[in-house]
C-alpha cells in the first residue's frame, strides 16, 4: 500500500504542478478552492513530494521487496542507516530526491521574494515550475521509483558495497542541494529576460541565490573527494573522473558568477554576462549529471546509470538548454555601457578571473566529452585522463592563483596601482617562505611555485583583514553598515585563505607523498623515513551483512605510539563482492594510510602504506572556502535590518 500511495502522491504532485503552471500562465487561480486551504500552493507541492519520498524510504526500511527498486538495491540484513540512505543510492530514488529539492528551492525562493515586483516573481516561479514539471514527467513515466514486481524475491540484491558508507547519507543530498540550488539563479535569469524589467535591482537576489548553492556544492564535492580518498583504496583525492569533472563545471561557473555579480553591483555593468553565467551554471549541472547517467561516458562511479533512459533525459536537457539560450539571445537587454577599465581597477582583474575560470571550465568540459565526440565523428577511441588535465590546467591554475591577491587588493575604479615596492617585497617574502619548504622535503620548481602561490594567497588575504580592526576600534562607529561590510570581508578572506591552504595541501601531497609496498609477516616491522610500522596481528570475523579480515598495524615514532590502524578486506556474500577498506590515521601533519592486500604463503600479506603529508590542509582549505560563502550569506541578514535600525 505504501508504495501505491507514494506513487499516487507523485501523480498528484505532477497534476498540481501543471495546475500551478496553468495558474500562472492564465493569471487566474485555477484551483480556487485549494487556495483557501493552502495559502501557498508551492508548499503543497513540496509537501506531496516530501511525503512521497518518505514513503519510498519506508519501503526501504521495511524491506518491501515487492517494490522493484528495493529488491534491486536493498537487503534485509543491511544496517538501518544504509537502508534509509539506499533510497537515494540509485537512479530512481535519486531522481525523486532531485525533484524534491527542486521544489524545496521553489518554496524557499517564494518565501524570500516578497520585496520584488509581482510580475517578475511570477515569471521566475513559472520557469522553476516548468523545470520541476520536466523532471517530474521523466520521473513518473520513465523512472518510476514505486514500480512493483509481480514475483517479489525472498531477499534483495543489496546495495553496491562501495556505496555502503556513512557518507552515502550526507554526500548525495548535499551535492544535490548545490546542483539544484543553481536552478534558482537560472530561473531568475530567464524570468528577468521574460519580464523585460530593466528597473528592478536584482543584484541582491542573484547574489544570495548564487551563494547558497556555492556553499552546498563546495561541501558536496569535498565530501565526495574525502569518500573517494578512503574508499577507492589508493589514497588519491581527485581522479579527474568524468563524474568528478562534471561536478566541477557548475562549481567553476558559479564561482565566476559570484565574482561577476560584484561588477554588476558596483559598476552596473556586465548584466548580460551575469545572466549568461546563471543560465550556464544550471545547464551544466543538468548536463553533468545526466551525461554520466546516460552511460555515454564511462566512469569509475558508474553505479546509477541506465543508457536506455539516458537518451531521453539528454533530449529533455537539450530542449531546456536551447530554449533558455534562445530566450537569452532574443530577449537579452541590449544596454551597451562601456565600463571604464584600468590596470589598477578591480573590475579589470575580475574580468580576467572570470575569463580564466571560463577557460578552465572549457578545458575540463572538452576533455570530458572528447572521447565521445571523437567516437561519434571519427569512430575512433581516445582516452582523456589525469595526465592531460594536469598539464593543460596547470598554467591557468597558476594564473588564477597569482591574480587573486592583486584583484582583491586593487580598488574599484582604481587608478593607481598598488605600490610596486610593496608588491615586489611581498613577492620576495612569499618566495622566502616557500623556499624554506626544502627543510621538510625536496623542492622541485613546481613544488616551489605551488608553495609560493599558497603563501602569496594566504598572506595577502590575512593582510586584508587589517581594515576590519580599524572598523572596530572606534566603537561608536560600529553601525549595521560596517557590520555588513565586515561579514562580506570576513567571508571573502576566509574563502581566499582556504584556497591558499588548498594549494598548499595539493602541492605538499603531490610532491612529498611516501609510498611503500611490501610483503610482510605478522609480527614483523619496517621503517618509512623515521616512522616504524609494526604488523601486530590479523583477525577474521563475521559481521551482519559481510565477513571481514582485518589487520592491525601500529605506527611508532621515536618509540612513541602515533596510532593503530585496522585495514580490512570485506566479502559481501549477497553480491559476492570484495571491497578493500583502507585504514587512515590522520594527524595534523601526516596522514598514515594502510591498505591490506593479498594473503601470501604462510602468514605473509601484501601491505601498501602511504604517508600523505598535509592532506588535511586540502579538506580544511575547502571547508574554509565553503565557510566563507556561509559567512557572506550572513551579511544578507544585516541587509534586511539595515533600514530598521
Partner 1 sequence: MKYFFFILFAFFIASRALAVEPSEILGNPQLEDRARKLSSNIRCLVCQNENIDSSDSEFAKDIRLFIRDQLIEGRSDREIENFLVSKYGTYILFKPKFAGYNIFLYLFGPFIFILGISTIFFLFLKSKRGS
The residues near 230 (Cβ < 8 Å, ≥ 6 apart) are 581, 582, 584
266 forms part of the interface with partner 1 (CB under 8 A): no
CB of 309 to partner 1, least distance (A): 20
267 forms part of the interface with partner 1 (CB under 8 A): no
Cell of 368: 570530458
- Largest Cα span, the chain: 81
561 forms part of the interface with partner 1 (CB under 8 A): no
The CA distance from 300 to 245, in Å, is 12
Taking CB under 8 A as the criterion, which residues in 590-629 touch partner 1? 595, 597-600, 606, 608
Pick the binder of partner 1 from 37, 154, 391, 588 (CB under 8 A): 391
8 A C-beta contact, residue 246 and residue 221: no
CB of 643 to partner 1, least distance (A): 35
CB of 270 to partner 1, least distance (A): 11
The CA distance from 602 to 5, in Å, is 58
8 A C-beta contact, residue 354 and residue 258: no
Pick the binder of partner 1 from 429, 578, 589, 637 (CB under 8 A): 578
Piece of 46-54, 220-228, 306-314, 335-343 that binds partner 1 (CB under 8 A): 335-343
434 forms part of the interface with partner 1 (CB under 8 A): no
Question: Cell 571523437 identifies what position?
Answer: 374
H/E segment holding residue 25? helix 2-26
163 forms part of the interface with partner 1 (CB under 8 A): no
Pick the binder of partner 1 from 312, 396, 531, 636 (CB under 8 A): 396
Q: Which is nearer to partner 1, 133 or 549 (CB)?
A: 549
CB of 363 to partner 1, least distance (A): 4
The CA distance from 20 to 35, in Å, is 11
CB of 410 to partner 1, least distance (A): 14
Piece of 65-73, 174-182, 235-243, 406-414 that binds partner 1 (CB under 8 A): 235-243
370 forms part of the interface with partner 1 (CB under 8 A): yes
482 forms part of the interface with partner 1 (CB under 8 A): no
CB of 359 to partner 1, least distance (A): 5
367 forms part of the interface with partner 1 (CB under 8 A): yes
The residues near 74 (Cβ < 8 Å, ≥ 6 apart) are 60, 63, 65, 83, 86, 156, 158, 159
- The per-residue b/e assignment along 206-229, b for 16 or more CB within 10 angstroms, e otherwise, is bbbbbbbbbbbbbbbbbbbbbbbb
336 forms part of the interface with partner 1 (CB under 8 A): no
Question: Cell 553533468 identifies what position?
Answer: 288
CB of 300 to partner 1, least distance (A): 5
Sign of CA dihedral 262, 268, 273, 277: positive
Piece of 199-207, 259-267, 430-438, 513-521 that binds partner 1 (CB under 8 A): 513-521
Pick the binder of partner 1 from 378, 475, 588, 645 (CB under 8 A): 378
381 forms part of the interface with partner 1 (CB under 8 A): yes
Cα 498 to Cα 92, 251, 504, 621, 628: the distances in Å are 36, 16, 10, 4, 8
Q: Which is nearer to partner 1, 147 or 539 (CB)?
A: 539
Taking CB under 8 A as the criterion, which residues in 270-329 touch partner 1? 298-300, 302
440 backbone dihedrals φ, ψ, rounded to 5°: -90, -40
551 forms part of the interface with partner 1 (CB under 8 A): no
Q: What is the CA radius of gyration of the chain?
A: 27
Piece of 14-22, 203-211, 359-367, 417-425 that binds partner 1 (CB under 8 A): 359-367
CB of 498 to partner 1, least distance (A): 25
Report which of 235, 243, 135, 290 is spatially closest to residue 613, judged by C-alpha positions.
Answer: 235
137 forms part of the interface with partner 1 (CB under 8 A): no
387 forms part of the interface with partner 1 (CB under 8 A): yes
642 forms part of the interface with partner 1 (CB under 8 A): no
The CA distance from 524 to 601, in Å, is 15
Report which of 541, 504, 538, 539 is spatially closest to residue 523, judged by C-alpha positions.
Answer: 538
CB of 470 to partner 1, least distance (A): 32
359 forms part of the interface with partner 1 (CB under 8 A): yes
565 forms part of the interface with partner 1 (CB under 8 A): no
8 A C-beta contact, residue 243 and residue 177: no
CB of 215 to partner 1, least distance (A): 28
Q: Which is nearer to partner 1, 236 or 414 (CB)?
A: 236
CB of 549 to partner 1, least distance (A): 6
The residues near 603 (Cβ < 8 Å, ≥ 6 apart) are 521, 522, 538
CB of 290 to partner 1, least distance (A): 18
Pick the binder of partner 1 from 314, 344, 355, 443 (CB under 8 A): 355
536: how many CB neighbours lie within 10 A of its CB?
A: 15
* Distance separating the N- and C-terminal Cα atoms of the chain: 55
234 forms part of the interface with partner 1 (CB under 8 A): yes
80 forms part of the interface with partner 1 (CB under 8 A): no
Pick the binder of partner 1 from 169, 358, 423, 459 (CB under 8 A): 358
The CA distance from 106 to 119, in Å, is 16
The CA distance from 282 to 519, in Å, is 50
H/E segment holding residue 127? helix 118-142
Q: Which is nearer to partner 1, 464 or 591 (CB)?
A: 591
The CA distance from 238 to 221, in Å, is 10
Pick the binder of partner 1 from 25, 166, 333, 340 (CB under 8 A): 340
362 forms part of the interface with partner 1 (CB under 8 A): yes
8 A C-beta contact, residue 41 and residue 34: yes
8 A C-beta contact, residue 55 and residue 2: yes
Question: Cell 601491505 identifies what position?
Answer: 607
Strands 583-586, 590-599: parallel, antiparallel or unpaired by DSSP? antiparallel
Positions in the binding site for partner 1 (CB under 8 A): 232-234, 236, 239, 241-242, 298-300, 302, 338-343, 348, 351-352, 355-356, 358-360, 362-363, 366-367, 370, 374, 378, 380-388, 391-392, 396, 517-519, 540, 547, 549, 569, 571, 578, 580, 595, 597-600, 606, 608
Amino acid at each position: 500500500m505504501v508504495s501505491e500511495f507514494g506513487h499516487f502522491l507523485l501523480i498528484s504532485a505532477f497534476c498540481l504542478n501543471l495546475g500551478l503552471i496553468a495558474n500562472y500562465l492564465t493569471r487566474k487561480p485555477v484551483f480556487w478552492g485549494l487556495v483557501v486551504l493552502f495559502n501557498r500552493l508551492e508548499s503543497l507541492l513540496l509537501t506531496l513530494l516530501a511525503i512521497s519520498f518518505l514513503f519510498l524510504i519506508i519501503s526501504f526500511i521495511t524491506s518491501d521487496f515487492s517494490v522493484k527498486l528495493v529488491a534491486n538495491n536493498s537487503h534485509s540484513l543491511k544496517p538501518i542507516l544504509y537502508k534509509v540512505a539506499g533510497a537515494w543510492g540509485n537512479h530512481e530514488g535519486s531522481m525523486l530526491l532531485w525533484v524534491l529539492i527542486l521544489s524545496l528551492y521553489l518554496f524557499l525562493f517564494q518565501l524570500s521574494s516578497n520585496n520584488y515586483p509581482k510580475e517578475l516573481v511570477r515569471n521566475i516561479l513559472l520557469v522553476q515550475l516548468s523545470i520541476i514539471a520536466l523532471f517530474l514527467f521523466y520521473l513518473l513515466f520513465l523512472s518510476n521509483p514505486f514500480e512493483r514486481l509481480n514475483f517479489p524475491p525472498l531477499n534483495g540484491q543489496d546495495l553496491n558495497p562501495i556505496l555502503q558508507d556513512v557518507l552515502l547519507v550526507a554526500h548525495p543530498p548535499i551535492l544535490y542541494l548545490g546542483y539544484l540550488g543553481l536552478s534558482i539563479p537560472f530561473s531568475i535569469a530567464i524570468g528577468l529576460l521574460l519580464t523585460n524589467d530593466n528597473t528592478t535591482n536584482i543584484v541582491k537576489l542573484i547574489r544570495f541565490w548564487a551563494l547558497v548553492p556555492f556553499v552546498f556544492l563546495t561541501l558536496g564535492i569535498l565530501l565526495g573527494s574525502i569518500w573517494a580518498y578512503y574508499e577507492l583504496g589508493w589514497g588519491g583525492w581527485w581522479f579527474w573522473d568524468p563524474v568528478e569533472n562534471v561536478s566541477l563545471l557548475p562549481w567553476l561557473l558559479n564561482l565566476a558568477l559570484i565574482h561577476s555579480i560584484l561588477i554588476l553591483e558596483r559598476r552596473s555593468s556586465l548584466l548580460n554576462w551575469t545572466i549568461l553565467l546563471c543560465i550556464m551554471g544550471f545547464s551544466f549541472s543538468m548536463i553533468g549529471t545526466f551525461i554520466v547517467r546516460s552511460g555515454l561516458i564511462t566512469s569509475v562511479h558508474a553505479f546509477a546509470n541506465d543508457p536506455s533512459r539516458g537518451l531521453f533525459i539528454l533530449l529533455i536537457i537539450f530542449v531546456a538548454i536551447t530554449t533558455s539560450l534562445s530566450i537569452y539571445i532574443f530577449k537579452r537587454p541590449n544596454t551597451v555601457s562601456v565600463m571604464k577599465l584600468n590596470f589598477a581597477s578591480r573590475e579589470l582583474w575580475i574580468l580576467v578571473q572570470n575569463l580564466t575560470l571560463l577557460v578552465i571550465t572549457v578545458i575540463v568540459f572538452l576533455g570530458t566529452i572528447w572521447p565521445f565526440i571523437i567516437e561519434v565523428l571519427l569512430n575512433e577511441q581516445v582516452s582523456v585522463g589525469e595526465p592531460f588535465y594536469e598539464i593543460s590546467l596547470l598554467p591557468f591554475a597558476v594564473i588564477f592563483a597569482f591574480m587573486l591577491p592583486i584583484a582583491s587588493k586593487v580598488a574599484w575604479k582604481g587608478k593607481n596601482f598598488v605600490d610596486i615596492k610593496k608588491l615586489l617585497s611581498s613577492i620576495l617574502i612569499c618566495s622566502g617562505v616557500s623556499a624554506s619548504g626544502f627543510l621538510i622535503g625536496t623542492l622541485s620548481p613546481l613544488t616551489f611555485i605551488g608553495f609560493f602561490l599558497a603563501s602569496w594567497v594566504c598572506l595577502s588575504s590575512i593582510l586584508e583583514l587589517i581594515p576590519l580592526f580599524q572598523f572596530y576600534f572606534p566603537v561608536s562607529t560600529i553601525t549595521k553598515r560596517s557590520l555588513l561590510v565586515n561579514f562580506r570581508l570576513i567571508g571573502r578572506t576566509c574563502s581566499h585563505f582556504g584556497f591558499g591552504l588548498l594549494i598548499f595541501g595539493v602541492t605538499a601531497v603531490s610532491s612529498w607523498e611516501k609510498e611503500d609496498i611490501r610483503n610482510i609477516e605478522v609480527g614483523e616491522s619496517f621503517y618509512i623515513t623515521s616512522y616504524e610500522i609494526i604488523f601486530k596481528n590479523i583477525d577474521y570475523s563475521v559481521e551482519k551483512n559481510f565477513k571481514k579480515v582485518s589487520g592491525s598495524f601500529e605506527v611508532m615514532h621515536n618509540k612513541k605510539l602515533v596510532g593503530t590502524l585496522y585495514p580490512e578486506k570485506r566479502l559481501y556474500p549477497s553480491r559476492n563482492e570484495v571491497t578493500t577498506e583502507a585504514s587512515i590515521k590522520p594527524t595534523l601533519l601526516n596522514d598514515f594510510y594502510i591498505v591490506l592486500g593479498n594473503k601470501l604463503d604462510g602468514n605473509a600479506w601484501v601491505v601498501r602504506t602511504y604517508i600523505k603529508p598535509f592532506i588535511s590542509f586540502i579538506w580544511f582549505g575547502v571547508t574554509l572556502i565553503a565557510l566563507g560563502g556561509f559567512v557572506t550569506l550572513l551579511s544578507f541578514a544585516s541587509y534586511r535590518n539595515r533600514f530598521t535600525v
